[in-house]
Amino acid sequence: MNGSVTEFMNQVKAKNPGENEFHQAVHEVVDSIYPVIEANPRYRSGKILERIVEPERVIIFRVPWMDDEGEVHVNRGFRVEMNSALGPFKGGLRFHPNVNLSILKFIAFEQIFKNALTTLPLGAAQGGSDFDPKGRSDAEVMRFCQSFVMELFRHIGPDTDVPGTDIGVGGREIGFLFGTYKKLANRFTGVLTGKGSSWGGSLMRPESTGYGVVYFASEMLSTRKEKIAGKRVAISGSGNVAQFAAEKALEMGATVVSLSDSSGAVLDEEGIDRNKLDYVKDLKNHRRGRIREYTQIYPGASYLEGQRPWSAGCDIALPCATENELNEEDAQNLIDNGCFCVAEGANMPCEPAAIERLRENDVLFAPGKAANAGGVAVSGLEMTQNSMRLHWTRREVDERLYLIMKEIHRTCVDHGSRGDFIDYVDGANVGAFIRVADAMLDQGLI
């Protein structure tokens, strides 16, 4: 079996020489789903793997533009339209000098499964340019965006391909891109996500990931007939994700016992209540201070300089800060203190050894690709609202978000149940793959 993975990977490498990032992404996915391929000969006979690694379409184009001094620059624009089995191509645009075809294919490939997992009608794509917006004036960024859309506009559309935000592309860039598209197409449609909330953007984008993690965690608890209310929740980080995770956890009746930032962690045994959370929001969002100041206002809490909050006694841990913030030792600490559920709010916060340790000890563990899919989900909901010509209230978006997280959880359970134990990592990988693969089979060779 392993030999076949190697064989397949050799083919991919031969066909896509030099695209190291892409090779790596394909290898990881193929490695995890190979048992499914084996068990389902229809995927092999339908050459699903061979088809899924080949983008449906790649567009590379010239983006000439003029800077404020009148000098001409030429950048390269890309759009990798990877897979449209489940819906219109959907994925971000990245403006960064490192952008090349390999990186974009790598992101677009991962996007297939991320989007499939949301259960929304979303295909997969990724695009961008090697343009560096850093050090550019608003006017230069605008001229670049206009030139970029002059070509891209003929390839995208609300039912064809819907680009969104990524590194170097935020609210400002989406505004310029959208304006140009609208002018060229003479149509006001939901062709891009990440729009301003007064002209087609969805509400709840900042909240979506944090809320989603908590919804997901509460679903995980329900598999053990538990409720989040009354549980002690340790959260790391104090940015967007952590703040809104804490907010939702409080709303659902849990006790939040920790938050952290890059210099240290705050443990508050009495719980970080709504007032204290408002203080943290003001501290981090307005005053941009350090979390240690918390203990000056609330002396009952303790501050751990340079540490993560994983020594806290808790039932649920939500790592929402950064990559590799939870190692094997931390995992053991959590287990020893009675934690039985870990859901990743950040991208890959748990080191592989930590995940292994959690699994061995029968701790519920949800990988970020499932637990933090709330962000992707709200982009999908932006498209939905645009198609319906509606602007939902926060509450409406929140309700949909809850349903989506619940649906993602169900997919993981369906494909990850191993007796009493649920392997969310496998469940997410397999569930997403099967959704795409079956749709591809249904739609025939196209």
Is 375 near other proteins (CB under 8 A)? no
Distance of CA 192 to the CA centre of its chain: 17
DSSP state of 142: H
Nearer to other proteins by Cβ, of 223 and 307: the residue is 307
CB distance 220 to 366 below 8 Å: yes
Position 352 contacts other proteins (CB under 8 A): no
Report the residue from 17, 72, 287, 442 that binds other proteins according to the rule CB under 8 A.
287
User: At 250, which helix (H) or strand (E)?
Assistant: helix 240-251
Among 92, 127, 190, 201, binds other proteins (CB under 8 A): 201
Q: How far is the CB of 106 from other proteins (least distance, A)?
A: 12
Q: Which of 222, 324, 387, 393 binds other proteins (CB under 8 A)?
A: 324
- When asked if residue 55 is in the footprint of other proteins (CB under 8 A), the reply is no
In three-state secondary structure terms, 75 is: strand
The residue count for binding other proteins (CB under 8 A) is 33
Q: Does 297 bind other proteins (CB under 8 A)?
A: no
- Residue 418 engages other proteins in binding (rule: CB under 8 A): no
Is residue 200 involved in binding other proteins (CB under 8 A)? no
In whole angstroms, the minimum distance from the beta carbon of 237 to other proteins comes to 14
Instruction: Give the x/- contact pattern for other proteins in 59-98, rule: CB under 8 A.
Output: --------x-x---------------------------xx
Residues 118, 312: Cα–Cα separation, whole Å: 32
Contact status: 232 vs other proteins (CB under 8 A): no
- Taking contact as CB under 8 A, which single stretch among the options 31-39, 110-118, 155-163, 283-291 is the one that binds other proteins? 283-291
Q: Long-range contacts: 178-184, Cβ < 8 Å, 24+? A: 180/145, 180/146, 180/149, 180/150, 180/153, 181/149, 181/153, 181/156, 184/149, 184/150, 184/153
Q: Give the integer Cα–Cα distance in Å for 196 and 439.
A: 33
Does 260 help bind other proteins (rule: CB under 8 A)?
no
Residues 6+ apart with CB under 8 A from 35: none
Distances 199 to 147, 150, 194 between C-alpha atoms, Å = 22, 21, 10
Q: Write out the binding residues for other proteins, residues 159-188 only, by CB under 8 A.
A: 165, 167-168, 170-172, 175
Strand-strand pairing, 364-366 and 302-305? unpaired
Q: 320, 237 in Cβ contact below 8 A?
A: yes
Given the rule CB under 8 A, which residues bind other proteins? Answer: 67, 69, 97-98, 134-139, 165, 167-168, 170-172, 175, 194, 196-197, 201, 203, 205-206, 240, 262-263, 285-289, 324
